[in-house]
Amino acid sequence: MEERAMTSKLSALILAGGFGTRLWPSSREHKPKHLLALTGDNSLMRDTFLRVAPMIASEQVYVVTGESHVQEVRAQLPELPHGNIIVEPQGKGTAPCIGLSALYMKRRNPDGIMASLHADHVIADAEGFRWALRSAAVLAEKGYIVTLGITPRWAETGFGYIERGERVANTDAGDAYQVVRFTEKPDADTAQRFISTGRFYWNSGIFVWKLSRILEEIRTLLPDLHKHLEEIDAAIGSPQEREVLEAVWPRIQSVTIDVGIMERAERVAVVPISVGWNDVGSWKAVWEMMSADDDGNVVAGKHIGLDTSNTLIWGGERLIATIGLDDMLIVDTEDVVLVCRKERSQDVKMLVEALRREKKNRYL
């Protein structure tokens, strides 16, 4: 009974902003990562939607995205009421984006709980994930800010970490802990130390909270943002809604929810999950995520190779021929081919920045 009541309060916010620079050249400004079908027939965004569909009705699912992607979001999520697509005039980091979305969501569900999900994550075990969301919602109902912490699988230096403290006592939430602190991306030694303690989780960026609680935290910790959101809130539903949003938004300072809220808030809990999570944050992550052949190669498209191992061959129509490669990434698209050492996969971002500096916009 209690759980059903709680679940009916649960809404999902799917964050579908950003470009997914590190998956360039497949991801582009006009076709960002979450709109790509990297893992199968569905885009990552649609998979995110389908993953929560068994527990959250589509009327309770919201997507926040940029103006230029609204059409594509509608096309990929026909189940979604059009009013559930929230348009962010420009990217300002996750805090303003979540704050804006919370304004809309609390109008429909003043006592509601929001699960904030990224549109571009892969989760192998959807059922396990929904169990964790339920636990998190129980804690959120009790007033916690809840984060899902990924049980680390290696000493990754590309993620932030969450350190846990005492177990949260006397809940129906299963395994859950007080959060001692959020940390930024560690160096390799620190990451190794973190995971050897057994007390650290990868920060998935997946959060669950009461709408009232997150808006209250914004009021306390990000008062400027709060002031701007109030201006927007006053105009919602009026003929000036769009105009006010577009006037106010550019004045908002960019800030992530992690830096702006999570690192400073009290009463934060972590629910550990081991559900095959992957943020697909780089081509290396794609290689890790997909099943490899006997040589350790992950191949999409047409390939012929000699002595090629541990390599991602990500092509389309054209033949990719390789000789003597190990630990490489090859991504072939219609107008660009990327060849990159696998351990340098994070630097694809730098390359995209270089293209932007050189105003080679046709490749962005």
CA 112/CA 23 separation, integer angstroms: 35
Smaller CB separation from a copy of itself, 28 or 69: 28
Our measurement of the distance from residue 131's CA atom to the centroid of its chain's CA atoms, rounded to an integer in Å, reads: 19
- 22 or 130: CB nearest a copy of itself: 22
Nearer to a copy of itself, 36 or 320 (CB): 320
User: Minimum CB separation from a copy of itself for residue 288, in Å?
Assistant: 18
Core vs surface per residue 260-271: b (16+ CB within 10 A) or e: bbbbebeebbbb
How near is the Cβ of 343 to a copy of itself at its closest, in Å?
A: 7
Measured distance CA(135)–CA(172) in Å, rounded: 7
Beta carbon nearer to a copy of itself, 110 or 324: 324
- Least Cβ distance, residue 156 to a copy of itself (angstroms): 19
**Shortest distance in whole angstroms from residue 104 CB to a copy of itself:** 39
First to last CA, the chain: 51
CB 263 within 8 A of CB 182: yes
The single-letter DSSP state of residue 254 is P
CB of 282 to a copy of itself, least distance (A): 11
Q: Compare residues 53 and 351 and give the one whose CB is closer to a copy of itself.
A: 351
In the complex, the smallest distance separating the C-beta of residue 168 from a copy of itself, rounded to whole angstroms, is 44
Give least dist CB 341 to a copy of itself, A.
4
Nearest-approach distance from CB 294 to a copy of itself, in angstroms: 17
Question: Over the range 204-217, which residues count as b (16 or more CB within 10 Å of their CB) and which as e?
Answer: bbbbbbbbebbbeb
Q: What is the three-class DSSP state of 210?
A: strand
Q: Buried (b) or exposed (e) across 21-41, using 16+ Cβ within 10 A?
A: bbbbbbbbbeebbbbbebbee
Residue (10 or 286) nearer to a copy of itself, CB: 286
Nearest Cα to Cα of residue 15 among 94, 103, 109, 90: 94
**Nearest to residue 203, comparing CAs of 130, 271, 135, 127?**
271
From its phi and psi, is residue 18 left (phi > 0), alpha (psi between -120 and 50) or beta?
A: left
Phi, psi at residue 316, to the nearest 5°?
-135, -110
- In the numeric block, which tokens belong to residue 183? 């940390």
The answer to whether residues 121 and 204 touch, using CB atoms and an 8 Å cutoff, is: yes
Q: Which is nearer to a copy of itself, 294 or 335 (CB)?
A: 335
| Nearest CA among 76, 51, 15, 14 for reference residue 277 | 51
Least spacing, CB of residue 324 vs a copy of itself, in Å: 4
The residue (of 123 and 299) whose beta carbon lies closer to a copy of itself is 299
Residue closer to a copy of itself (CB basis): 252 or 338: 338
Is the CB of residue 92 less than 8 Å from the CB of residue 252? yes
Name the site residues for a copy of itself (rule: CB under 8 A): 25, 304-307, 315, 317-325, 328, 330, 332, 334-341, 343-344, 347-348, 350-351, 354-355, 358, 360, 363
